[in-house]
Amino acid sequence: MSGGGTEPDVLILGAGINGSGLFRDLCAQGVRCLIADRGDFGSGTSAAPSRLIHGGLKYLETGEFGLVAQSTLERNLLLRNAPHCVAPLPTVIPIFSWTRGIWAALRTMAGAKSAPRSRGALLVKIGLALYDFYGARHRVMPRHSLVGKRRALADMPALTPAVVAAGTYYDAKISGPERLVFELVQDGLAACPGSAALTYATLDGVEGGTLRISAADGGTIAVRPKVVVNAAGPWIDRVNALLGAPSRMIGGTKGSHILLDHDALVSMLDGRMIYFEADDGRICLVYDYLGRALVGSTDIPADNPDDVRCEDAEIDYLMQSLRTLLPGLAFDRSQIIYAYSGIRPLPASNATTPGLISRDHSAPVSEPEGDRPFPIISLVGGKWTTFRGFAEEVADTILARIGGTRTQSTRELAIGGGRGYPTTPDERKRWIGRVAAQTGLSEPRISQLLDRYGARAADVTEHLGPSADAERLPDCHDYSRAEIDWIARREAVVHLADIVLRRTTLAITGSLTVRDLDAIADIAAAALGWDADRTADEVAAITADLNSRHRYRSPAIAGARS
């Protein structure tokens, strides 16, 4: 993906959620920006969240009330501005006592370095009431409720009988975090044609005020920005060193997740998440993600984002946590179809408990020094939910430095396919009927594309046509060859992994088979001009990544072999 300018006012290094959110905000103000990432859009830490858009219920007990207030507001705004990929998520909290944890919670809020090991019904009730209070601004979901043991077990029979009650509240989930990152960049480029975006680009070095960047096509770009933003997440300190401003800002923790092919569990969840305490007191979760059971997350100190993967010990921890919570269901490693892991770019901290490290954000500035004429603003910490608010804060700082003014708020600004998205059943029916009449595609197919791309589905259908769309992938018939061709040609694809890991959900849901992968590679090769050797290399690279880093297992392949 590219744009018009090579002399940007602002250079953003890192196209994860924070960098892309800032890019869109600045572009909306008419500021020429260049965003560059050494991988794909949203391919680093931003591709490894719990896929939740949540208000931070657990931050109440660490006394981060301001973060909860901002998070609940931003959650509500995302439900409005990105309805094509962010949806409400009813959440159940199993409770194992009535009064436990109150004094420990008060000590933690007062600054103690340990969190409550158990949270009783009274404490949960207080927390959920506060959560409702902070989530009142732009409220779009119901308030919490609390039920006793009999009702909880009747509703979820597989739950451990050790529960005494269960609370239910509402947060939200995101179906495609990587796609939302991509859409933010698209929106930025549309708002400011003088801006540009680069993926698979490497920062080679800095000389005076000039930064040299190697692009994916082998060319080199030299830029002299007024401001550099370091949005490299867990790589922030490494990038600052390259920029000549050594730092120690990041002290990240590793979070791993697994996805299970477990129909009985998904059926029992019935669209809900269970937010529960593991044996060691850590909060874990399980919910239905596109028909699979997503389980997370670990929280382990780690500092090497280049070599992060879900380890055996983490899988054992997550599986045992499920067995303790849901003794009425069976769990084993054969159910794992996908795993992923990332390092949270948290601020450097001396906290002995990773869960007590703040999830709030900051943007420290390294002022110009020596022959470096530009300031460096590092985006430290933060969480997926608060990216818009964080971007707004930093954008206002940058505008003040470069003499610009804010011309547009992003608070009510729809994102990507959320623009023009039909949000009521009647609007949806009319939208689908109109597009079906225009294209000749069936209404069920239009509905599927609307769920996948939001209102941008109308653009996809122009590329398909009823005849072309009838030719589907060999095994995953939800995708047509023409749809994959549209992605390859229109969505800034550089590598095969961009399609199977980030522009689609084929891999994470276990839908991708060997035959599908070969078909997608052939389509991408024709669209992007790859020769036979390049195509083979792309297939080999993503296959190795799926097997080693993601523990990939397609139920379709397993079923064919059994």
Q: What is the pLDDT of residue 6?
A: 54
Q: Is the pLDDT of residue 413 over 80?
A: yes
Say which residue, 102 or 99, is predicted with more confidence.
99
For the residues 240-263, what does the mean pLDDT come to?
91
Q: What is the pLDDT of residue 460?
A: 94
Q: What is the pLDDT of residue 530?
A: 97
For the residues 79-97, what does the mean pLDDT come to?
93
What b-and-e string marks burial along 247-261, b requiring 16 or more CB atoms within 10 Å of the CB?
bebbbbbbbbbbbbb
Q: Is the pLDDT of residue 111 over 60?
A: no
Q: What is the pLDDT of residue 357?
A: 56
The CATH 3.50.50.60 portion of the chain extends over 10-45+178-250+359-402
Q: What is the pLDDT of residue 61?
A: 65
Q: Which fold is adopted by the domain 421-561?
A: Helicase, Ruva Protein; domain 3 (1.10.8)
Q: What is the pLDDT of residue 143?
A: 80
Question: CA nearest 382: which of 233, 188, 176?
Answer: 233
* 455 within 8 A of 187, measured Cβ to Cβ: no
For the residues 277-290, what does the mean pLDDT come to?
88
Q: What is the mean pLDDT of the chain?
A: 88
For the residues 460-482, what does the mean pLDDT come to?
90
For the residues 539-545, what does the mean pLDDT come to?
95
Q: What is the pLDDT of residue 60?
A: 63
**DSSP-derived secondary structure for 70-109:** HHHHHHHHHHHH-TTTEEEEEEEEEE--SSTTHHHHHHHH
Q: What is the pLDDT of residue 33?
A: 98
pLDDT interval class at 223 (50, 70, 90): very high
pLDDT interval class at 303 (50, 70, 90): confident
Q: Is the pLDDT of residue 1 over 80?
A: no
Which CATH number, 3.40.50.620, 3.40.50.970, 3.40.630.10, 3.30.9.10, labels domain 86-172+253-344? 3.30.9.10
For the residues 204-209, what does the mean pLDDT come to?
88
The CATH 1.10.8 portion of the chain extends over 421-561
For 482, the enclosing helix (H) or strand (E) is helix 481-490
Q: Is the pLDDT of residue 113 over 60?
A: no
Q: How many residues does the chain have?
A: 562
Would the CA dihedral through 11, 15, 19, 24 be positive or negative? positive
Task: Assign 128 to helix, strand or coil.
Answer: helix
pLDDT interval class at 473 (50, 70, 90): very high
Q: What is the pLDDT of residue 274?
A: 96
Q: Is the pLDDT of residue 329 over 50?
A: yes
Most confident of 118-132, 297-311, 378-392, 509-523: 509-523
Q: What is the pLDDT of residue 202?
A: 95
How far, rounded to the nearest angstrom, does the alpha carbon of residue 32 sit from its chain's CA centroid? 26
Q: What is the pLDDT of residue 561?
A: 37
pLDDT interval class at 103 (50, 70, 90): very low
For the residues 198-226, what does the mean pLDDT come to?
93
Say which residue, 325 or 359, is predicted with more confidence.
325
Phi and psi at 189, nearest 5°, equal -65, -35
Q: What is the pLDDT of residue 184?
A: 98
Q: Is the pLDDT of residue 85 over 50?
A: yes
Q: What is the pLDDT of residue 306?
A: 83
Question: In the chain, pLDDT over 90 holds for what percent of residues?
Answer: 68
Q: Which residues pair with 227 in a beta bridge?
A: 10
Q: What is the pLDDT of residue 107?
A: 53
Most confident of 109-118, 134-143, 338-347, 387-396: 387-396
Q: What is the pLDDT of residue 301?
A: 80
Q: Is the pLDDT of residue 418 over 60?
A: yes
- Nearest-angstrom CA–CA distance, 562 and 551: 19
pLDDT interval class at 194 (50, 70, 90): very high
- Nearest-angstrom CA–CA distance, 46 and 438: 37
pLDDT interval class at 214 (50, 70, 90): very high
pLDDT interval class at 118 (50, 70, 90): low
Would the CA dihedral through 29, 34, 37, 41 be positive or negative? positive
- Nearest-angstrom CA–CA distance, 271 and 111: 36
**How is residue 171 written in tokens?**
């947060």
For the residues 86-111, what does the mean pLDDT come to?
72
* 89 within 8 A of 170, measured Cβ to Cβ: yes
Question: In the chain, pLDDT over 70 holds for what percent of residues?
Answer: 88
- Nearest-angstrom CA–CA distance, 116 and 105: 6
For the residues 248-253, what does the mean pLDDT come to?
82
Q: What is the pLDDT of residue 147?
A: 86
For the residues 416-445, what does the mean pLDDT come to?
95
- Nearest-angstrom CA–CA distance, 15 and 479: 27
For the residues 232-236, what does the mean pLDDT come to?
92
Quick one: 10-45+178-250+359-402 is in which CATH superfamily? FAD/NAD(P)-binding domain (3.50.50.60)
Say which residue, 129 or 172, is predicted with more confidence.
172
Instruction: Choose the weakest-confidence range: 96-105, 178-187, 386-395, 535-544.
Output: 96-105
Q: What is the pLDDT of residue 3?
A: 47
For the residues 138-162, what does the mean pLDDT come to?
86
For the residues 168-190, what does the mean pLDDT come to?
95
Q: List, in sequence order, the alpha helices (H) in 334-424.
A: 387-402
Q: What is the pLDDT of residue 120?
A: 59
3-state SS, 252-263, equals CEEEEEEEECCH
Q: Is the pLDDT of residue 339 over 60?
A: yes
